[in-house]
């Protein structure tokens, strides 16, 4: 590794940090610290702005680095991630976006708690949201770590840790100073940069093959050493039935998880109406869909031009395939073009991680302050200002937790880690959300059971899975308490979440309040009384 691209990448990244810090101070000048302002940015973003911000929140390092890396290593099986991530938006659009915008204020718990006994439901939903956010944050931190490892070479262990800490510190500054308004603008800037960079790389890949996709695919298949099998499913998940089930589990988690991600749900509150929320989703589906189509090209391009072996040597999980591809597209290591492209891609990936991390931190600090702290501590008679202060402190705490876990989970594939976060979101958040929006007879006990009945199995199954122990690639390879064969718990924990919600409702003495359901239904579909 030469010093040139490191310096340039650091310069570009510093420029991004400077611009975003500028945005943070600029948008937060003269703002009063109301909860409305901090959590929802005043609800005044336009659908297009919010659509870009949603895309920015969603197209994480996991997509940019992880999916292309998986495609470069395993061919078609990596592509399945992209399909799941995109189809998930139909669930969001059809069942969640408008209704949640109409019924809630800041968090998922608002929607559920409106119909139920508020305290237990808020505590449950808040806990689930924070758990999902922390898992997702860890994935981003791991992405930051592997990028730095690539930039600084294998010797940079300490520097890698410092970079993760630096990303964490920056995100805490953005979130605690700028709130939702600054975070949204950072997302927009980042989405534009990321899409611009991806388009440029895709064009370069296609130019290299003279626009012949067929030859791109064939070259990738040849270079991979798997031949035609590289272009068909099965290389990663096609072995025994355990790994096939694992894949189905992942597929379910991906498609159902997005609608339960707290940082995605909170984005719908930044626009004035449900119609604006719908139009932001339409924007983001367009952006996200095109982005995933391009990552497929980049993944096969990396397989064809860099080769799976070189990718694997650089990072066993494939997270560095795209930066290596950029180096090759620019003219190879040592050339000016390669150096510049590599630096740009690395800087964009850093920016991506930073922005996504800021979005998740904001959403989880909202859950801590608005749901957990407010329900548990009950500081009577204090103004909402103190809630924002709590949210700012929560952002710092969550940042520290994420940094620590990020350093621990350094060697796992980012896309895979995100798959776990999706599984937990789909198990703990989605059942309770759908039940409270659409089930007339849903009760408080049902809501609490639905959350915990999805959350605990999901977390427990991950702890007992080969990810944590019992196999060479796990977090603690030395010990073996692996009792659950699948890496992704979704196929078991998501039905359990729905089942627990149903059981809790059937077994509770409380009769669901007709009038409150009427209110939820009327408000969700018409927007009456929405803030």
Partner 1 sequence: MLPVCPSLGMQSSNGRSHGTGDGPESSAGHREEHGAAAHEVPFEDPWYDALAAGWGELDGTGRPAPAVPPARGEAGATAPRTRDVYLEVQRSEAFQEVRSRYRRFVVPGVAAFLVWYAAYVIAATTAPGLMARPVVGAVNVALLAGLGQFISTFLLTWAYARHARLRRDRAALELRWDTQELTRGVQGGAS
268-297 positions binding partner 1, by CB under 8 A: 272-273, 275-276, 278-279, 281-283, 285-286, 289, 292-293, 296
Residue 105 interacts with partner 1 (CB under 8 A): yes or no = yes
**Binding positions for partner 1, 294-333, rule CB under 8 A:** 296
Residue 83 interacts with partner 1 (CB under 8 A): yes or no = yes
Coil vs helix vs strand at 469: strand
Q: Identify the residue among 70, 204, 217, 464 touching partner 1 (CB under 8 A).
A: 217
Dist. CA 373–CA 390, nearest whole Å: 8
According to DSSP, residue 254 is labeled: H
Closest CB 504 distance from partner 1, rounded Å: 18
Residue 206 interacts with partner 1 (CB under 8 A): yes or no = no
Total chain residues near partner 1 (CB under 8 A): 93
Neighbouring CB atoms inside 10 A of 293's CB total 13
Closest CB 148 distance from partner 1, rounded Å: 32
Residue 98 interacts with partner 1 (CB under 8 A): yes or no = yes
Q: Identify the residue among 119, 208, 236, 410 touching partner 1 (CB under 8 A).
A: 119
Secondary structure of 120-139 as H, E, C letters: HHHHHHHHHHHHHHHHHHHH
**Binding positions for partner 1, 379-408, rule CB under 8 A:** 379-380, 382, 384, 387
Residue 28 interacts with partner 1 (CB under 8 A): yes or no = no
Task: Please identify, using beta-carbon distances, which residue of 253 and 349 lies nearer to partner 1.
Answer: 253
Q: Identify the residue among 166, 234, 337, 495 touching partner 1 (CB under 8 A).
A: 234
The three-point CA angle 381-385-388 to 5° equals 125
Is the Cβ–Cβ distance between 316 and 84 less than 8 Å?
no
Q: Position of tokens 């600054």?
A: 182
Task: Select from 5, 79, 17 the least CA-distant residue to 353.
Answer: 17
* Residues sharing a CB contact under 8 Å with residue 391, sequence separation 6 or more, in sequence order: 35, 38, 39, 365, 366, 368, 369, 370
Coil vs helix vs strand at 98: helix
Task: Please identify, using beta-carbon distances, which residue of 9 and 110 lies nearer to partner 1.
Answer: 110
Closest CB 189 distance from partner 1, rounded Å: 16
Virtual CA dihedral for 482, 320, 148, 10, nearest 10 degrees? -160
Task: Select from 244, 295, 308 the least CA-distant residue to 79.
Answer: 295
Task: Please identify, using beta-carbon distances, which residue of 283 and 350 lies nearer to partner 1.
Answer: 283
User: What stretches of 45-200 adopt beta strand conformation (E)?
Assistant: none
**Binding positions for partner 1, 243-272, rule CB under 8 A:** 244-245, 247-248, 251-252, 255, 272
Q: Identify the residue among 56, 66, 104, 431 touching partner 1 (CB under 8 A).
A: 104
Dist. CA 261–CA 258, nearest whole Å: 5
Residue 225 φ then ψ, to 5°: 85, 0
| End-to-end C-alpha distance for the chain, whole angstroms | 54
Q: Identify the residue among 1, 118, 333, 503 touching partner 1 (CB under 8 A).
A: 118
Task: Please identify, using beta-carbon distances, which residue of 3 and 381 lies nearer to partner 1.
Answer: 381
Q: Position of tokens 């400077």?
A: 18
Span of 6-14, 211-219, 307-315, 502-510 interacting with partner 1 by CB under 8 A? 211-219
Dist. CA 252–CA 101, nearest whole Å: 25
Residue 208 interacts with partner 1 (CB under 8 A): yes or no = no
Span of 19-27, 44-52, 55-63, 131-139 interacting with partner 1 by CB under 8 A? 44-52
Task: Please identify, using beta-carbon distances, which residue of 303 and 459 lies nearer to partner 1.
Answer: 303
Q: Convert residues 347-386 into a mask of x (bound to partner 1 by CB under 8 A) and - (unbound).
A: -----------------------xx--xx-xxxx-x-x--
Residue 485 interacts with partner 1 (CB under 8 A): yes or no = no
Closest CB 519 distance from partner 1, rounded Å: 4
Q: Position of tokens 């410092």?
A: 162
Coil vs helix vs strand at 463: helix
Lookup: tokens for 437: 């929006």
Span of 241-249, 310-318, 450-458, 473-481 interacting with partner 1 by CB under 8 A? 241-249
Closest CB 426 distance from partner 1, rounded Å: 13
């Amino acid at each position: 590794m030469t010093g040139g691209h490191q310096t340039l990448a650091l310069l570009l990244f510093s420029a991004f940090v400077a611009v975003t810090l500028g945005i943070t101070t600029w948008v937060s000048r003269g703002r009063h610290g109301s909860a409305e302002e901090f959590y929802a940015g005043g609800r005044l973003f336009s659908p297009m702005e919010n659509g870009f911000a949603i895309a920015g929140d969603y197209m994480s390092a996991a997509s940019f680095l992880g999916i292309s890396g998986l495609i470069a290593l395993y061919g078609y099986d990596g592509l399945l991630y992209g399909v799941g991530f995109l189809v998930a938006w139909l669930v969001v659009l059809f069942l969640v976006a408008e209704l949640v915008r109409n019924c809630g204020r800041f968090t998922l718990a608002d929607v559920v708690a409106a119909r139920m006994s508020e305290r237990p439901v808020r505590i449950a939903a808040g806990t689930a949201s924070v758990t999902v956010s922390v898992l997702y944050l860890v994935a981003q931190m791991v992405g930051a770590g592997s990028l730095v490892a690539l930039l600084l070479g294998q010797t940079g262990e300490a520097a890698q840790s410092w970079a993760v800490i630096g990303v964490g510190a920056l995100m805490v500054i953005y979130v605690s100073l700028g709130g939702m308004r600054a975070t949204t603008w950072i997302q927009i800037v980042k989405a534009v940069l990321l899409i611009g960079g991806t388009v440029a790389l895709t064009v370069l890949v296609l130019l290299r093959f003279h626009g012949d996709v067929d030859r791109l695919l064939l070259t990738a298949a040849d270079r991979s050493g798997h031949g035609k099998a590289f272009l068909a499913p099965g290389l990663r998940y096609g072995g025994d039935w355990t790994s096939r089930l694992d894949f189905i589990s992942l597929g379910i988690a991906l498609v159902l998880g997005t609608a339960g991600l707290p940082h995605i749900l909170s984005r719908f509150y930044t626009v004035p109406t449900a119609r604006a929320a719908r139009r932001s989703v339409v924007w983001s589906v367009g952006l996200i869909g095109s982005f995933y189509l391009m990552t497929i090209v980049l993944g096969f391009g990396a397989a064809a031009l860099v080769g799976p072996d070189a990718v694997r040597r650089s990072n066993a999980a494939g997270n560095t395939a795209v930066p290596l591809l950029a180096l090759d597209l620019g003219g190879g290591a040592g050339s000016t073009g390669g150096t510049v492209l590599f630096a740009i891609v690395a800087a964009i990936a850093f920016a991506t991680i930073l922005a996504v991390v800021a979005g998740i931190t904001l959403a989880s600090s909202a859950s801590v302050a608005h749901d957990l702290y407010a329900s548990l501590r009950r500081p009577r008679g204090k103004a909402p200002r103190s809630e924002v202060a709590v949210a700012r402190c929560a952002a710092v705490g969550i940042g520290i937790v994420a940094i620590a876990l990020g350093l621990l989970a350094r060697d796992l594939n980012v896309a895979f880690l995100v798959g776990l976060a999706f599984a937990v979101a789909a198990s703990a958040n989605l059942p309770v959300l759908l039940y409270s929006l659409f089930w007339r007879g849903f009760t408080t006990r049902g809501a609490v059971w639905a959350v915990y009945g999805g959350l605990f199995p999901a977390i427990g199954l991950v702890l007992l899975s080969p990810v944590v122990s019992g196999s060479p690639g796990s977090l603690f390879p030395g010990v073996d308490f692996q009792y659950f064969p699948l890496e992704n718990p979704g196929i078991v924990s998501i039905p359990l979440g729905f089942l627990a919600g149903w059981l809790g409702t059937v077994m509770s003495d409380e009769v669901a309040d007709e009038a409150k359901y009427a209110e939820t239904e009327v408000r969700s579909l018409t927007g009456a009384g929405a803030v």
